[in-house]
């Protein structure tokens, strides 16, 4: 098994394109576990942490560009990100433990291809766009189009996620991410809900995005759930519509972490609760 | 396949070692550098018994490859005491009986030290959530949390 | 908080008040907080090989053939073993502490013979020059299996048409003796009075059926063993174990070795809770080392710990209790079905005995079934069997309280066993602390704090017998007057601190002048394992014996030296002191002064305590818990928890409190989230800490510990074992609190969110 740590995106792409079975190493919190469990046995590991674009957090065109290999802990310590995107930051910092957050990255969380990934619903709700770099060059893909199914990505051979772009925020906007786990920490999300919204001066929701994780084969962007609350003050009726819309799109599995009926029921509850938190934050922004 | 030749700093000392690609930092610490204070409880980042500091960041050493620490600073439990002086956390754990079998203790101490360096006056809730990645099966966490808060108070007094 | 009431005889048994009962720094503490302490996997020998085990991927299969030739040919592989390397063992039941075992089963659990009986069952093992080569070698072993239908659930396994695990297992304890084999190994029963007559006198009868899932002890340190066998068969073994003398006995038997040739060292142990009282890797490591003629080190992965070391039973329990409208229990029946895993030996017997032990009931009838199924062989887990049966009983007691409109503590007080009560399982209780613990809970601020909506409060009591057993210690006075204590029961959580205090007080020397170690099997007489809450109880008793010998020896030497008679001297506060007129002629002489001239007075000074400790007193506990349920998700948060338990006399209060707190949190995990989850294929789906959900620090509050001390009159210090009782009440207390919070009686554990939400939704109450 070879290990390379290229210092440029082109170098990483060339290495990934050349080997038959190569894996990207960012935080390693999924890759190393799968290697130890004999699920993966790559011939080449490409460590991307020496590539500056994957590690930078910069303001860009009024929005934020976050490198794919920035850790959750680093995101939490950034002086300004938490104020603009509290939902994204809290999602990234729910992954695993303090130790795991010291290494885990949003790029890895997305590319591990688990529909239960914590940071993905928050990124999708935020309208984040992934910038991919590959043998054919650069392209952008909305995050909701990157994960196609469990362990199935829309990446071509040799392509990696280099960074995420979070769009500029209108005033009175905020987001929130909630997940359901049976304990208080350390569990994989049984349901994850990310909501991002904007309100006007009168308290009416003018824009919203709702994303659900762990309730289908991929992380869902739920347009109907957003429609349910846009134009409302998130009153009781709007909340009920939101819950119903969230539940309607769920196609979860029955597994050791939760039953189908449980996931469907809780998806509605979390979508509502996340929306209320986002609303509360947006009003004070 | 030739092994990687790595130079790093461990507990302030320059070290060099050889490792295979798939060897974790935990494997290297325990099997190559003979620093067995960090423990393997699960090898999957779920128990925290292998906690170390990597460039000042609390991590699970079972989730870091040996070859990733080239040129980096690693701090393990073995570096926590300074000569004959135990760190206030170590002293408090002894006074408060905050350990029973002791297998989780190195990881808990490394993690607690990382917390207090960032947050010298944590609440009980902050301590519990920070240490959520350190499993203990013996103590029920009560005396561990008390010890961390008492040590924090001692350290704040200077 | 310590409350000493009732019989506090332990406090003035002629022992000076010194270190016993105070919170000393444990002697092994510095090594544990610096990472210096050496646990099982921390031992290495030069030139050692790494051993790894090939395990069955099937829950039930005949092993048709095993071809190890390709593995043996792999460069770096120095030995491969299979069932061929272990002689078969005849069927023979041997007491193993709180359970019985049979070597015919042990040899098959250590290495499968005719069949693989659970996923994870050891089928072969290799020793190689590196872990990587060992893992590769396992892949080269070709095992031909004939897969058989499997059975997991205990009730399914009891059916006459269930897949049969052993064709020579005929149920013991039923009449007439069965002609056909089955999966029911044993039926046990205790009977007092006539329950049918008793039920006729009841104004209220409550009958419920409960179900629990297997849970693992969850020790953070995986099993580890390091063995080296010389050409003449002498064997040295380092292993993380609760009983190195037991390990020696098992290995000697399984490998045909003289016990005297096997020297076992118990390393520091990272948790056991009963799960490290049996052998898994040790016989394999020795067999590999014998074959390879090199040291062999073996460590289990976390997945192997879950799949191949014994959890405790899952069970189905039916309870029927009758009470008068005033709350007097008049009749109690229970039927327990416990699954034992692949080989017989579930803790159904102690489960049967403990079920109603806290109560004085005229008519009691408990039946228990020990049932095998295709899961790992169960091992002891802290008060084995009792948490399960007492969960069921305490739930029904709570229901009786609710239906009769009685306070749950008052109801228990009314029926509590006390001194003189004859327990349904046989003995008459001496002084016991159940009522004291109930009173302690009643007086707490916790009990009197109001609750809010969706919050609930539950109380439950529990019991464990505790045992004594064979114990050997050695006390040596060194030439400078310091004292060396060698005990033989591995220290799983503060034992050395407690024993050091006892030595210091017995001999009147400072705590720091006593150094304890846990000796290996070559250095001491037989010690039964650390379990049954016995090590502090028995160890301190043996120390008193050993100290007596030293004191008597010093008195004899003083008499010789001073030409005095024994009634002219006494041993007190670390010295032999002249009495009366003699005091004008000679000065007292300390232990250190005697030690300095020991050669001149007859030789080295020491004492040995070799006892079969009797008189273990049961420990009763009562737990109180407040919790809150989120009705929209079914998630439970533990808000507050108080434990009151009778320790007899706490040799080291902090480590006794630690036992209370640790057992309570294990109970919280068992009640709310822990369970073995199997697929249709009989394979374990959650063999890791991610999905086997043990409580983390943020899941629990502080656990208030109230130390009750009702002295055990049969122990020189009044000590009772404390380690196991703490895990017995939590299941019932939490289930009762859930009923209080939701109005729903949960009869299946764990009470995980999907189950709770489903129950609330069925009543249309899943709203805030």
Which segments of chain B have a pLDDT < 50?
none
**C500-522 pLDDT, tens per residue?**
999 999 999 999 999 999 999 99
- What pLDDT does residue C95 have? 74
C32/B105 touch (CB, cutoff 8 Å), yes or no = yes
**Residue C101: which of C239, C253, C233, C216 has the closest Cα?**
C253
Report DSSP state, residue B32.
I
> In chain A, how many H helices and how many E strands?
12, 14
Is C41–B44 a contact, with Cβ atoms under 8 angstroms apart? no
C554-601: pLDDT as tens digits: 999 999 999 999 999 999 999 999 999 999 999 999 999 999 999 999
- Between CA C485 and CA C363 the distance in angstroms is 48
Pairing status of strand C49-55 against strand C296-299: parallel
- Beta carbons within 10 angstroms of residue B4's beta carbon: 18
SS3 state at C628: strand
* 3 state DSSP class of B55: coil
C728-737 pLDDT, tens digit each: 999 999 999 9
Q: What percent of chain C has pLDDT over 90?
A: 96
Are residues A107 and A147 in contact, defined by beta-carbon separation less than 8 angstroms? no
Average pLDDT of chain C is 95
Contacts with C766 from chain A: Cβ below 8 Å: 265
How far B155 CA lies from chain C's nearest CA (Å)? 18
φ and ψ of C212, to 5 deg: -130, 155
Say what the pLDDT of residue C13 is: 37
Structure tokens at A44: 């080449």
Task: Determine, for residues A182 and C633 on separate chains, whether the beta-carbon distance falls below 8 Å.
Answer: no
- Helices and strands counted in chain C (H then E): 20, 29
Contact of A23 with A44, CB cutoff 8 Å: yes
B68 to chain C, closest Cα gap in Å: 20
pLDDT of residue C16: 56
Quote the pLDDT of residue B143: 98
Angle ∠(C312,C628,C657) on CA atoms, nearest 5: 55
Q: Which residue of A has its CA nearest to C698?
A: A184
Given a cut of 60, whether residue C241 has pLDDT beyond it is yes
Cβ-Cβ contacts under 8 Å, A188 against chain C:
690-691
Residue B105 to residue C665, Cβ atoms within 8 A = no
Cα–Cα distance, C19 to C16 (Å, whole number): 9
pLDDT tens string A163-205: 999 999 999 999 999 999 999 999 999 999 999 999 999 999 9
End-to-end CA distance of chain B: 52
pLDDT of residue C92: 86
**CA-to-CA distance for C280 and C518, rounded, in angstroms?**
22
Interface test mutation site (partner C, options B43, B101, B148, max chain C beta carbons within 10 A): B101
Q: Where along chain C do its domains lie?
A: 2-37+468-613, 40-148+236-295, 385-466+617-762
Nearest to C281 by CA among C254, C257, C311: C254
- Chains within contact range of chain C (3+ C-beta pairs < 8 Å): A, B
Are the C-beta atoms of residues C677 and C635 closer than 8 Å to each other?
Answer: no
Q: Is the pLDDT of residue C97 over 80?
A: no
* Percent of chain A topping pLDDT 90: 99
Q: What's the fold here for domain C40-148+236-295?
A: Aldehyde Oxidoreductase; domain 3 (3.90.1170)
Instruction: With cut-offs at 50, 70 and 90, classify the pLDDT of residue C11.
Output: very low
Helix (H) or strand (E) holding C671: helix C653-672
Q: Which residues pair with B54 in a beta bridge?
A: B57, B74
Determine the 3-state secondary structure of C220 from DSSP.
coil
Mode of pairing for the β-strands spanning C315-323 and C296-299: unpaired
Is C634 in contact with C754 (CB distance < 8 Å)? yes
Interface touch B133/A185, C-beta < 8 Å = yes
Task: Output Rg (C-alpha) for chain B, integer angstroms.
Answer: 16
From chain C, the residues in CB contact with A257 under 8 A are: 691
Token code pair at residue A65? 């560009």
Q: How many helices (H) and strands (E) does chain B have?
A: 5, 5
Residue B130 to residue B122: CA distance in whole angstroms: 10
Contact yes or no for B104 and C35 at CB 8 A: no
Residue with tokens 């109603």: C356
Kindly state the greatest CA–CA separation across chain B. 54
Q: What domains appear along chain B, each with residue ranges and CATH number? A: 4-79 (3.10.20.30), 88-156 (1.10.150.120)
Q: Chain C within 8 Å of A267 (Cβ-Cβ)?
A: no
pLDDT tens across A32-74, in order?
A: 999 999 999 999 999 999 999 999 999 999 999 999 999 999 9
Q: How deeply is C555 buried, as exposed, middle or buried, from its count of CB atoms within 10 A (0-12, 13-18, 19+)?
A: middle
Give the bridge partners for C323, in sequence order: C204, C329
User: What is residue C99's predicted lDDT score, i.e. its pLDDT?
Assistant: 64
Answer whether residue A5 shows pLDDT above 80: yes
What pLDDT does C10 receive? 36
> Is the pLDDT reported for residue A112 higher than 70?
yes
Mutate to test the interface with A, among B19, B27, B60, B135 (most CBs of A within 10 A): B60
The SS3 of residue C196 is: helix
C653 vs C1: CA distance, rounded Å: 9
Q: How far apart are CA C365 and CA B144, in angstroms?
A: 44
Which residues of chain A make contact with C695, given a CB cutoff of 8 A? 183
- To the nearest whole Å, the CA of B20 is away from the closest chain C CA by 10
Neighbours of C173 (CB within 10 A): 15
**Cα(A117)–Cα(A121) distance, integer angstroms:** 8
Task: Report the C-alpha gap between C434 and C621 in whole angstroms.
Answer: 6
Kindly identify which residue of chain A lies nearest to residue C633, measuring between CA atoms: A266
pLDDT band per the 50, 70, 90 thresholds, residue C101: confident
Looking at the predicted structure, is the pLDDT value of residue A279 above 60? yes
Domain C2-37+468-613 has CATH 3.30.365.10: yes
| Cβ-based neighbours of B33, under 8 Å, separated by 6 or more | B10, B15, B17
Inter-chain contact B49–C220, Cβ cutoff 8 Å?
yes
In the numeric block, which tokens belong to residue C582? 């003699």
Note the pLDDT of residue C3: 62
Determine if residue A96 is left, alpha or beta; phi over 0 gives left, psi from -120 to 50 gives alpha, anything else beta: left
Judge if C40-148+236-295 and C385-466+617-762 fold alike in CATH terms: no
Are the beta carbons of C698 and A184 separated by less than 8 Å?
Answer: yes
- Residue numbers of A between 21 and 60 with CB closer than 8 Å to B: 25, 27-29, 32-33, 35-37, 45, 47, 49
Taking the CA of residue C291 as centre, how many other CA atoms within 13 Å lie in the half-sphere pointing to its CB?
23
| Chain A residues with CB-CB distance to C753 below 8 A | 180, 182, 190, 258, 262
B77–C35 C-beta distance less than 8 A: yes
Q: Which two tokens stand for residue C248?
A: 């020696």
Between chains, do A25 and B65 touch, taking CB under 8 Å as contact? yes
Phi, psi of B8 (to 5 degrees): -150, 180
Under the phi-then-psi rule, with left for phi > 0, alpha for psi from -120 to 50, and beta for the rest, what region is A62?
left
> Within a 10 A sphere around the Cβ of C367, how many other Cβ atoms?
18
Distance CA C236, CA C270 (A): 21
Say if the Cβ atoms of A183 and C686 lie within 8 Å. no
Beta bridge partners of B65: B24
Torsion region of C47: left, alpha or beta (phi above 0 gives left; psi -120 to 50 gives alpha): left
Residue C650's Cβ-side half-sphere holds a number of Cα atoms within 13 Å equal to 27
Q: DSSP state, B43?
A: S
* Residue C139: band (very low, low, confident or very high) from pLDDT cuts 50, 70, 90: very high
* Phi and psi angles of residue B42, each rounded to the nearest 5 degrees, phi first: -150, -20
Q: Which helix (H) or strand (E) holds A34?
A: helix A31-36
Give yes or no for residue C242 having a pLDDT over 70: yes
Query: How many residues does this entry show for chain A?
Result: 285
Q: Is C500 helix (H, G, I), strand (E, B) or coil?
A: helix
Q: Which residues pair with C226 in a beta bridge?
A: C238, C297
Q: Which residues of B touch C132 (CB under 8 A)?
A: 20, 22
Chain B neighbors of A28, CB-CB under 8 A: 63-65, 68
Q: Does A265 touch chain C (CB under 8 A)?
A: yes
Burial of C196 (0-12, 13-18, 19+ CB in 10 A): exposed
Res C5 pLDDT > 60: no
DSSP letter string, A147-198: EEETTEESPPTT-EEEEEEEPP--SSEEEEEEEE-SSSSSSPPSEEEEEEEE
CB contact under 8 A, B137 and C39: no
Comparing alpha-carbon positions, the chain C residue that sits nearest to A259 is C754
User: Residue A102 and residue B58: Cβ atoms within 8 Å?
Assistant: yes
Above pLDDT 70, what percent of chain C?
A: 97
Mean pLDDT of C44-62: 98
Of A71, A73, A100, the CB nearest to B60: A100
Pick the closest to residue C489 from C510, C474, C503 (CA basis): C474
A150 pLDDT band, cuts 50/70/90, is: very high
Q: Which two tokens stand for residue C687?
A: 């063999």
CATH number of C385-466+617-762: 3.30.365.10
Task: List the 103-162 stretch of A: residues with Cβ below 8 A of B.
Answer: 103
The single residue listed with the structure tokens 């079969």 is: C612
**Spatial contact of A129 and A169, defined as CB atoms under 8 Å apart:** no
**Sheet (strand A160-166) strand order:** A57-60, A63-67, A160-166, A129-134, A137-142
Whether the CB-CB separation of C320 and C296 falls below 8 Å is answered with no
**Residue A52 DSSP code:** H
């Amino acid at each position: 098994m070879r290990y390379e740590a290229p210092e440029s995106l082109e170098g990483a792409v060339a290495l990934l394109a050349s080997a038959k079975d190569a894996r990207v190493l960012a935080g390693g919190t999924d890759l190393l576990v799968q290697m130890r469990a004999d699920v993966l046995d790559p011939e080449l590991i490409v460590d991307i942490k020496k590539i500056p674009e994957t590690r930078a957090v910069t303001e860009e065109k009024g929005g934020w560009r976050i490198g794919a290999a920035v850790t959750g802990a680093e995101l939490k310590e950034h002086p300004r990100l938490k104020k603009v995107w509290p939902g994204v930051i809290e999602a990234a910092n729910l992954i695993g433990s303090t130790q795991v957050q010291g290494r885990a990255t949003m790029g890895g969380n997305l590319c591990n291809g688990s529909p239960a990934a914590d940071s993905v619903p928050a990124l999708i709700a935020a309208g984040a766009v992934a910038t991919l770099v590959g043998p054919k060059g650069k392209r952008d893909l909305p995050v909701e189009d990157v994960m196609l199914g469990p362990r199935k990505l829309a990446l071509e051979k040799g392509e990696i996620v280099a960074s995420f772009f979070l769009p500029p925020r209108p005033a009175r906007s905020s987001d929130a991410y909630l997940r359901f786990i049976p304990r208080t920490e350390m569990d994989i999300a049984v349901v994850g809900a990310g909501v991002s919204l904007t309100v006007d001066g009168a308290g009416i929701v003018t824009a919203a995005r709702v994303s659900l994780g762990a309730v289908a084969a991929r992380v869902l962007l739920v347009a109907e759930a957003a429609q349910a609350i846009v134009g409302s003050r998130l009153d009781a009726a709007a909340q009920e519509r939101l819950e119903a819309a969230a539940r309607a799109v769920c196609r979860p599995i029955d597994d050791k972490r939760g039953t189908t009926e449980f996931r469907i029921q809780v998806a509605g509850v979390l979508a509502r609760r996340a929306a209320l938190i986002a609303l509360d934050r947006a009003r004070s922004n | 396949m030739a092994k990687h030749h790595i130079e790093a700093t461990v507990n302030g000392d320059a070290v060099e070692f050889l490792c295979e690609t798939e060897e974790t930092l935990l494997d290297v610490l325990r099997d190559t550098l003979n620093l067995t204070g960090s423990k393997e409880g699960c090898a999957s980042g779920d128990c925290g018994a292998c906690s170390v500091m990597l460039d000042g960041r609390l991590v699970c050493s079972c989730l870091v490859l040996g070859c990733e620490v080239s040129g980096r600073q690693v701090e393990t439990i073995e570096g926590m005491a300074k000569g004959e002086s135990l760190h206030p956390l170590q002293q408090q754990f002894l006074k408060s009986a905050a350990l029973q079998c002791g297998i989780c203790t190195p990881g808990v101490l490394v993690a607690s030290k990382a917390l207090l360096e960032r947050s010298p006056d944590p609440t009980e809730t902050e301590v519990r959530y920070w240490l959520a990645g350190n499993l203990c099966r013996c103590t029920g966490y009560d005396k561990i949390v008390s010890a961390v808060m008492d040590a924090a108070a001692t350290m704040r007094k200077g | 908080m310590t409350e000493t009431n009732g019989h506090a005889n332990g406090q003035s048994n002629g022992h000076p008040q010194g270190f016993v009962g105070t919170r000393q720094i444990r002697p092994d503490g510095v090594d544990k907080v610096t990472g210096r302490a050496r646990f099982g996997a921390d031992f290495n020998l030069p030139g050692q090989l790494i051993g790894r085990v090939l395990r069955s991927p099937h829950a039930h299969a005949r092993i048709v053939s095993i071809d190890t030739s390709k593995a043996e040919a792999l460069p770096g592989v120095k030995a491969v073993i299979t069932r061929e390397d272990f002689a078969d063992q005849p069927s023979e039941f041997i007491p193993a502490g709180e359970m019985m075992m049979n070597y015919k089963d042990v040899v098959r659990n250590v290495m499968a013979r005719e069949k693989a009986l659970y996923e994870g069952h050891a089928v072969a093992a290799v020793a190689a020059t590196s872990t990587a080569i060992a893992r590769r070698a396992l892949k080269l072993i070709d095992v031909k299996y004939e897969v058989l239908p499997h059975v997991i659930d205990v009730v399914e396994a009891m059916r006459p048409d269930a897949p049969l695990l052993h064709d020579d297992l005929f149920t013991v304890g039923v009449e007439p003796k069965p002609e056909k084999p089955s999966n029911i190994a044993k039926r046990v029963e205790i009977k007092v009075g006539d329950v049918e007559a008793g039920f006729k006198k009841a104004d209220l009868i409550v009958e419920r059926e409960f179900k629990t899932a297997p849970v693992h002890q969850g020790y953070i340190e995986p099993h580890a063993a390091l063995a080296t066998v010389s050409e003449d068969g002498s064997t040295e073994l380092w292993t993380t174990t609760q009983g190195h003398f037991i390990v020696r006995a098992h290995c000697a038997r399984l490998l045909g070795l003289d016990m005297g040739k096997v020297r076992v060292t118990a390393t520091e142990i990272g948790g056991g809770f009963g799960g490290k009282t049996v052998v898994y890797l040790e016989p394999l490591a020795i067999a590999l080392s014998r074959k390879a003629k090199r040291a062999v080190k073996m460590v289990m992965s976390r997945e192997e710990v879950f799949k191949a070391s014994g959890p405790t039973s899952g069970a189905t329990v039916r309870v029927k209790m009758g009470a008068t409208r005033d709350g007097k229990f008049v009749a109690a029946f229970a039927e327990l079905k416990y699954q034992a895993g692949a080989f017989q030996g579930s803790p159904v017997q102690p489960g049967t005995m403990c079920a109603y032990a806290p109560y004085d009931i005229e008519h009691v009838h408990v039946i228990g079934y020990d049932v095998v199924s295709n899961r790992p062989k169960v091992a002891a887990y802290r008060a084995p069997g009792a948490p399960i049966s007492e969960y069921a009983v305490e739930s029904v007691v709570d229901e009786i309280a609710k239906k009769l409109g009685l306070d749950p503590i008052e109801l228990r007080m009314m029926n509590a066993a006390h001194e003189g009560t004859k327990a349904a399982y046989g003995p008459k209780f001496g002084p016991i602390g159940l009522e004291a613990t109930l009173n302690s809970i009643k007086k707490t601020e916790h009990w009197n704090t109001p609750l809010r909506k969706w919050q609930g409060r539950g109380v439950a009591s529990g019991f464990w017998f505790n045992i004594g057993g064979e114990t050997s210690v050695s006390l040596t006075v060194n030439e400078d007057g310091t004292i060396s204590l060698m005990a033989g029961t591995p220290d799983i959580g503060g034992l050395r601190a407690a024993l050091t205090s006892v030595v210091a007080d017995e001999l009147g020397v400072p705590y720091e002048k006593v150094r304890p170690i846990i000796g290996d099997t070559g250095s001491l007489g037989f010690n039964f394992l650390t379990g049954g809450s016995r090590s502090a109880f028995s160890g301190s008793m043996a120390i008193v014996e050993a100290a007596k010998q030293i004191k008597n020896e010093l008195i004899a030497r003083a008499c010789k030296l001073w030409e005095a008679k024994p009634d002219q001297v006494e041993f007190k506060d670390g010295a032999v002191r002249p009495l009366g007129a003699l005091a004008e002629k000679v000065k007292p002489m300390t232990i250190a002064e005697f030690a300095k001239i020991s050669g001149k007075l007859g030789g080295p000074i020491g004492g040995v305590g070799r006892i079969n400790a009797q008189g273990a007193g049961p420990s009763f506990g009562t737990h109180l818990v407040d919790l809150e349920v989120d009705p929209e998700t079914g998630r439970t948060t533990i808000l507050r928890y108080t434990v009151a338990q009778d320790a007899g006399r706490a040799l080291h209060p902090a480590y006794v409190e630690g036992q209370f707190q640790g057992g309570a949190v294990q109970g919280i995990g068992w009640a709310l989230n822990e369970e073995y989850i199997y697929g249709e294929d009989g394979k374990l789906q959650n063999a890791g800490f991610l999905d086997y959900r043990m409580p983390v620090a943020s899941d629990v509050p502080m656990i208030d510990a109230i130390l009750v001390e009702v002295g055990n009159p049969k122990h020189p210090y009044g000590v009772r074992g404390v380690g196991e009782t703490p895990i017995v009440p939590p299941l019932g207390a939490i289930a009762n609190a859930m009923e209080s919070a939701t109005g729903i009686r949960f009869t299946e554990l764990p009470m995980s969110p999907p189950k709770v939400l489903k129950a609330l939704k069925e009543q249309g109450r899943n709203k805030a």
